[in-house]
Amino acid sequence: MIRKPRILAFAGSTRKDSYNKKLVRIAAHAAQECGAEVTVIDLKDFPMPLFDEDLERTQGMPESAVRLKKLMVESDGFLIASPEYNSSITAVLKNSIDWVSRPVPNEPPLIAFKGKTAVLMSASPGALGGLRTLVHVRSILGNIGMIVLPDQVAVPKAFEAYNDDGKLRDPKQHGAIEGLGRTLTTFLQKHIA
Ligand X SMILES: Cc1cc2nc3c(=O)[nH]c(=O)nc-3n(C[C@H](O)[C@H](O)[C@H](O)COP(=O)(O)O)c2cc1C
Residue 114, interface with ligand X (CB under 6 A)? no
Q: Do the strands 77-81 and 37-40 form a parallel or antiparallel pair, or are they unpaired?
A: unpaired
Q: Which of 10, 34, 84, 146 is the binder for ligand X (CB under 6 A)?
A: 84
Q: Do the strands 117-123 and 37-40 form a parallel or antiparallel pair, or are they unpaired?
A: unpaired
**Cα dihedral sign for 91, 77, 124, 19?**
negative
Closest CA to 146 of 2, 4, 8, 1: 8
Q: Which of 124, 152, 183, 185 is the binder for ligand X (CB under 6 A)?
A: 124
Residue 191, interface with ligand X (CB under 6 A)? no
Q: Residues near 168 by Cβ (< 8 Å), separated by ≥ 6?
A: 26, 155, 161, 162, 174, 177
How many whole angstroms from its chain centre is CA 85?
Answer: 16
Q: Contact letters (x/-) for ligand X, 18-37, by CB under 6 A?
A: xxx-----------------
Q: Which of 2, 54, 57, 86 is the binder for ligand X (CB under 6 A)?
A: 86
Contact 22, 166 (CB under 8 A): yes
- Smallest separation (angstroms) from ligand X to the CB of 109: 31
Q: Specify the stretch interacting with ligand X by CB under 6 A; choose among 27-35, 36-44, 55-63, 83-91.
A: 83-91
Instruction: State which residue, 94 or 188, has the beta carbon closest to ligand X.
Output: 94
Which residues contact ligand X (rule: CB under 6 A)? 11, 13, 15, 18-20, 83-87, 124-126, 130
